[in-house]
C-alpha cells in the first residue's frame, strides 16, 4: 500500500528534525570528521534506514557553522582537500539539550506506544524473529545497532 501524502510529509518532518541531533552526535563521537564520513556513519548506525543526501547534509553543516555549533578547518594534505568539522562548546551544550528533549519525549510517549504495541502483540502482528532491547524491552528492527527508545547498544543476545 503506497504511503499517503500526509504520512510522507510527517515522516520527512520527523527525519529533518532529528538530523541536526544525529549530525551533532556523530561529530561529537568522532571529535573531528568530514561530511561524507558523517553521512556514512549515520547510514551504518541506522542499518541503512537513514540515508543523508549531500543536498541535505552540507546546507545543514553550513547552518551549524553559522550558528557556531560546529567549527571547521580544511585539510589539504591528502589526495583531495577535506573540510573537517568539530563540535564547539556551544554545540556541545546544544547537543546535550537536544538529547534531554529527546529523552523526555521517549519517556512521555513510551507508555502510549507500549500500550499500542501490547495490543498489536496480542493480535499477532509482530514479526516472527523480532528482537527486543535487553535494557528497556523495546522491539528493534532487524540489523539495528542501537535501540531507538533508550539508545542502548544492541548485542546478538538481544535477538529472540
CATH code of the domain in which 59 resides: 1.10.10.10
48-58: b or e for each residue (b if 16 or more CB lie within 10 Å)?
eeeebeeeebe
Q: Is the pLDDT of residue 158 over 50?
A: no
81 and 135 part of one domain: no
User: What range does the domain containing 131 cover?
Assistant: 127-160
Number of independent structural domains in the chain: 2
Q: Which residue has better confidence, 48 or 97?
A: 97
- What percentage of the chain exceeds 90 in pLDDT? 42
86 and 152 part of one domain: no
Residue 106 in any domain: the answer is no
22 and 73 part of one domain: yes
20 and 76 part of one domain: yes
88 and 136 part of one domain: no
154 and 85 part of one domain: no
77 and 152 part of one domain: no
What does each C-alpha distance from 29 to 38, 78, 105, 115 come to in angstroms? 10, 23, 23, 34
78 and 152 part of one domain: no
Q: Which of 72, 92, 112 is the last residue of a domain?
A: 92
Would you state the pLDDT for residue 129?
55
How many C-beta atoms lie closer than 10 Å to residue 154's C-beta? 19
C-alpha cell at 117: 504495541
Distance CA 137, CA 152 (A): 11
User: Can you tell me the mean pLDDT for 141-154?
Assistant: 66
19 and 70 part of one domain: yes
- What percentage of the chain exceeds 70 in pLDDT? 73
84 and 9 part of one domain: yes
User: Can you tell me the mean pLDDT for 7-23?
Assistant: 86
Amino acid at each position: 500500500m503506497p504511503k499517503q501524502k500526509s504520512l510522507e510529509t510527517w515522516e520527512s518532518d520527523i527525519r529533518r528534525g532529528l538530523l541536526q541531533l544525529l549530525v551533532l552526535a556523530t561529530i561529537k563521537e568522532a571529535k573531528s570528521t568530514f561530511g561524507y564520513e558523517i553521512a556514512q556513519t549515520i547510514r551504518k548506525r541506522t542499518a541503512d534506514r537513514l540515508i543523508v543526501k549531500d543536498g541535505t547534509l552540507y546546507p545543514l553543516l553550513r547552518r551549524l557553522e553559522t550558528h557556531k555549533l560546529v567549527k571547521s578547518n580544511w585539510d589539504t594534505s591528502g589526495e583531495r582537500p577535506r573540510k573537517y568539522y568539530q563540535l564547539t562548546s556551544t554545540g556541545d551544550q546544544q547537543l546535550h539539550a537536544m538529547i534531554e528533549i529527546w529523552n523526555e519525549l521517549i519517556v512521555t510517549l513510551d507508555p502510549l506506544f507500549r500500550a499500542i504495541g501490547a495490543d498489536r502483540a496480542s493480535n499477532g502482528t509482530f514479526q516472527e524473529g523480532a528482537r527486543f532491547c535487553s535494557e528497556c524491552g523495546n522491539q528493534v528492527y532487524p540489523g539495528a545497532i542501537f535501540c531507538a527508545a533508550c539508545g542502548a547498544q544492541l548485542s546478538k543476545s538481544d535477538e529472540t
